[in-house]
Amino acid sequence: AQSVTQLDSQVPVFEEAPVELRCNYSSSVSVYLFWYVQYPNQGLQLLLKYLSGSTLVESINGFEAEFNKSQTSFHLRKPSVHISDTAEYFCAVSEAGANNLFFGTGTRLTVIP
């Protein structure tokens, strides 16, 4: 079975500062990894995903995440955050070959002006 741990439930950061949201997973099989973002009163939006290949994946709005198999991590980073990045971020894992997702408990990112 898969599981996901997001160690930080809340991360406050000043505007234009860098941020890292941590995600660790456990699985006995090959996995796909995802980061989803949830704005207030909305559903989930896919931010980026790792399926295979390059371990560094990027989103269109400046976020990136690196798959580290030895540390079973998939941390999310952004070098300079904006007010609009304030949201809940969920790390998720699925078994390669299936697409039901296992989510972490989420990290609330609050960008302070």
Partner 1 sequence: DAGVTQSPTHLIKTRGQHVTLRCSPISGHKSVSWYQQVLGQGPQFIFQYYEKEERGRGNFPDRFSARQFPNYSSELNVNALLLGDSALYLCASSLFWGGPNTEAFFGQGTRLTVV
Euclidean distance between CA atoms 3 and 27, whole angstroms: 7
Residue given tokens 């989103």 in the structure block: 59
Euclidean distance between CA atoms 85 and 68, whole angstroms: 24
Q: Does 61 bind partner 1 (CB under 8 A)?
A: no
- Alpha carbon 81 to its chain's center: 15
Q: Does 56 bind partner 1 (CB under 8 A)?
A: no
Total of residues contacting partner 1 (CB under 8 A): 26
Q: Which of 92, 93, 109, 111 binds partner 1 (CB under 8 A)?
A: 92
With contacts defined by CB under 8 A, name the span among 17-25, 59-67, 72-80, 100-108 that binds partner 1.
100-108
Positions touching partner 1 (CB under 8 A) are: 4, 6, 32, 36, 41-46, 49, 51-52, 90, 92, 96-106
